Amino acid sequence: MNAARAPEQNASYYRATAAPGPALPPLAGTVAADVCVVGAGLAGCSAALALAERGFRVIVLEAQRIGWGASGRSGGQIIAGLAIEQDALERIVGGPDARALWELSLAAVARLHLRIGQHRIDCDWVDGFLLAALKARQWQGLQRWHDELQQRYGYTSTSLIGREQLRALLPSERYIGALFDSFGGHLHPLRYTLGIAQAARAAGASFHEGSAVLGYGAQAERLQVRTRDGLVECAQLLFAGNAWLGATVPVLQQRLLSVASYIIATEPLGAARAEALITNNAAVADSNWVLDYFRRSADHRLLFGGRVNYSGIDLRGIAPATYARMLKVYPQLAGTRVEYAWGCLLDITRSRAPDFGRLAPNVYYLQGFSGHGMALAGFAGELVAEAIAGTAERFDVFARIPHREFPGGLLLRRPTLALAMLWYRLRDWL
């Protein structure tokens, strides 16, 4: 890697280009609300917006800054469907619910489009998602998936791209075919999250940054949520901290594992050079289990992500290792400087299906987006708002998905999972 300028370690390109504004004051004293939301990522901000629009008094508590977690650090890719493959989902929940979940994932993308337009959010939206195959078996799988989407689900937004046509889109020797989805796309995730938060504040929701939740409990018919300097008394509570919720709610931690993914941003390449890398400007991901994902930015950089670390964020060697993966795709970028390098914690479930539900009739949670949260997390917040307002049918389709704990308990599940991942890495190599 060109060391002419060392990248800012864990300094997100998104944070540098989003203008988040001054921090909001922490919670102080005792306040009352109809609903308390814990976590100001996309799920929490969208829930706050939808609830405030319905006239609920909403307080959002965020331990760091709005969009500080995966919502403001991710690859920014908008993808239809869930992280779990559709046939595996059918085996878990049955055909009717699996189809309903697929349709809800499409509704999530449509809702994202609507919110961007409704609130005039400047988030660099671009149409198009491309899923690329490196091996013959992956290409055959994409062809089967395309046929299934067309024939069983009536989804006509995908098209198959063969090797020669793909070379015109991606000047890389690495891929042999791809599935293009015109309904997907990419955006600046932090600007989008901040835009949803601003809309929620404009609708009347109150946000408090630097307000980590220390505990919660019931007092008479009200819930009490404690921070270091304050207390929220509320009728309903939503936990939307995902990978960052930690031990605040131990029962949720048992079914969730946080893994780190890494992203680098190159120096500005200039319009012509950047456009030549992905000529249709789609978001790109490959078909490996441990995948690479990349896209162009509005200021003509390449944003390239990949790798996973099941022991959490480890910034040592993040830029050189991810840079090396980028050069396997684009050797023509050798010598290009990396200006930003950061880690992103993702919350995954054992099945990779999202985990939504209730801890009590008035305590909701959203977690386990498993890398597919940019559209779904925002939509999930709105489904909670629907449920709190008295219409829970769509939320309950997700709540019916069964979930198991990771094997090995809290102490041994990470090394156990790391060993299991060796099998999937071997499959990627074969």
Tokens representing residue 265 in the block = 């941003």
The closest of 371, 291, 300 to 329, measured between CA atoms, is 291
pLDDT in the model for residue 243: 78
pLDDT in the model for residue 254: 82
1: in domain = no
Q: Write out pLDDT tens, residues 365-377.
A: 999 998 899 999 9
Q: How many CB atoms lie within 10 A of CB 414?
A: 17
17: in domain = yes
Q: How confident is the model at residue 413 (pLDDT cuts 50, 70, 90)?
A: low
337: in domain = yes
429: in domain = no
Q: How confident is the model at residue 290 (pLDDT cuts 50, 70, 90)?
A: confident
426: in domain = no
**Mean pLDDT calculated for residue range 350-362:** 95
**E strand or H helix at 259, and its extent?**
strand 257-266
Q: Kindly write down the DSSP assignment for every residue of 275-320, as one continuous string.
A: HHHSTT--EEEESSSS-EEEEE-TTS-EEEEEEEETT----TTHHH
Q: Are 65 and 23 in contact (CB under 8 A)?
A: yes
pLDDT in the model for residue 346: 83
> Which residue range forms the structural domain that includes residue 239?
8-419
pLDDT in the model for residue 424: 45
Query: 392 CB contacts (<8 Å, ≥6 apart)?
Result: 386
Q: How confident is the model at residue 414 (pLDDT cuts 50, 70, 90)?
A: low
**E strand or H helix at 129, and its extent?**
strand 126-133
Q: Could you tell me the CATH number of the domain that includes residue 330? A: 3.50.50.60
**E strand or H helix at 9, and its extent?**
strand 8-9
Phi, psi (rounded to 5 degrees) for 204: 120, -5
27: in domain = yes
Number of domains in the chain: 1
Q: Is the model's pTM score more than 0.85?
A: yes
Q: Alpha-carbon distance 306 to 295, whole Å?
A: 12
Task: Give Rg (Cα) of the chain.
Answer: 21
393: in domain = yes
Helix (DSSP H) and strand (DSSP E) numbers for the chain? 13, 18
Q: Alpha-carbon distance 77 to 289, whole Å?
A: 17
pLDDT in the model for residue 189: 97
Q: Are 400 and 93 in contact (CB under 8 A)?
A: yes
Query: 5 CB contacts (<8 Å, ≥6 apart)?
Result: 267, 337, 339
Q: Write out pLDDT tens, residues 141-174.
A: 999 999 999 999 999 999 999 999 999 999 999 9
pLDDT in the model for residue 313: 53
**Mean pLDDT calculated for residue range 76-99:** 95
152: in domain = yes
